[in-house]
Amino acid sequence: MKKYALGMIGLGTMGRNLLLNMADHNYAVTGYDKDPKMLNILEEVGQKHNLKGFSELKDFVQSLELPRRIVLLVPAGAIVDNVIKELEPLLDKGDMIIDSGNSHFTDTSRRAIELSVLGFHFFGMGISGGEEGARFGPSMMPGGDKTAYKAMKQVLEDISAKVNGEPCVTYIGPGASGHFVKMVHNGIEYAMMQLLAETYDVLKTGLGYKTEEIQLVFAKWNKGRLKSFLMEVTAAIFAFIDDKTGNLMVDMVKDEAKSKGTGKWTSQVSMDLQLPIPTINEAVTSRDLSKFKQLRVALSAAFPQEITLPENLQEIEARLEEALYFAMISSYAQGLHLLWQASNTYNYELNLHEIAKIWRGGCIIRAELLEDIYQAYIDKPDLEHLFLDASIQIKLKETISGLKKIINIAMDNGIPVAAFASTLTYFDTLRTKRLPSNLIQAQRDFFGAHTFERTDEEGVFHALWNQTTL
């Protein structure tokens, strides 16, 4: 029987395209899927490389070279555990399992411990780039077992996206760090998508632009400092025609956003770590609010928008570009700050400059701006927060007036811009030397004796507040 260098379990869109990518780089690969349809598609699209898959797991496992390298690309959750349980009796000690789905990092931590006890190598690897990325070069975030990573390193570097000849993959760190970084990547993605949606709404509702005009704006911005994958695909969306009606497709799409939960996971973890990421949180909230369509329709009748279109449209458009640029910087900053905190809390040993480096190509949040962010962390690898970098500070100072202007216009016209507004509040809070939080701590001590610290001496104190005469 022919022996294969690597096997893929899960031959859906991502798994199949990743396997094709490996075959393009002259790796002898095969796959396994319970669905005969997926096997037929693999054989059909993989004719060039004579790709074939297996319908029996035992045959698939026995076809692999020792030590076996098996990549999982199946839906996160119980399915991953079920596949691993089916694999365990068929494997030999020293074999490797790489979970490349969107697993929650806590599941990855648990699986790594369980499989290590059995003598198997395991690591979690986030993959970004969608169908096209998987096929022609994704950004990959592997973390965990170093032995397994070293065995996969050359394969991953060969199939990854390249920027300036550098592969968009690196060893992220120990434990579940790979899946944690991918989760935060997705959180940043949520924030950016919401900001682009709010930008679209300001142009459409606040400035009265037609969809064709909005497409031209986004295409123009994608040639400047806002150049990014998400800006590029958004401009393309605005130009796509619906075959059924002849209308622009985006105008025919119902305004209810769905999600798979990775943005929510990022928000939940940020609260566990007490590290605020408000723009990401607002993006999650806005998707959830969009689902209450009937309620929104009812309330729109009770509280109609009263839009006053400004006369200086070109000027407002320029301020909107500034606002979006400022907010994009902040989205990255919030996500990277969360990674900084997680690295300290979970001992992930994250190198933020390496993470910024591999995000520059292949992934969904790749953007021109990441070159500047990468440089900021090259200049100071232990940088706590992106806002502390001098070059980033210049960009923020140059664009904050645009952010304020757009928020004011939106608020005056009842246009919801939760992500934009949270970005400004986040910035203002971080740059405020003295916050009113002393009052909150005094309130906590008054009704709960939670104590407080003083400004004039060290220690923990409690005051007898209820003796105050009103």
Helix (H) or strand (E) holding 335: helix 313-346
List the Cα angle 159/162/167 in 5-degree steps.
Answer: 70
Active site residue 150: no
In whole angstroms, give the CA distance from residue 387 to residue 374. 13
Report phi then psi at 2, rounded to 5: -65, 140
- Under 8 Å between Cβ of 325 and 225: yes
Selected catalytic residue, list 153, 182, 212, 254:
182
- Under 8 Å between Cβ of 402 and 319: yes
- Under 8 Å between Cβ of 174 and 158: no
Report phi then psi at 36, rounded to 5: -55, -30
Query: SS3 of 462, please?
Result: coil
In whole angstroms, give the CA distance from residue 262 to residue 245. 34
Q: Which has the closest alpha carbon to 34: 103, 82, 90, 95?
A: 82
**301 token code pair:** 């009748």
Selected catalytic residue, list 189, 282, 321, 322:
189
Surface-to-core class of residue 330, CB atoms within 10 Å of its CB (0-12 exposed, 13-18 middle, 19+ buried): buried
Helix residue ranges, H only, 347-415: 352-358, 369-379, 390-413
In whole angstroms, give the CA distance from residue 199 to residue 195. 6
- Please list the residues that pair with 275 across neighbouring strands: none
Active site residue 182: yes
Which sequence positions are flagged as catalytic?
Answer: 182, 189
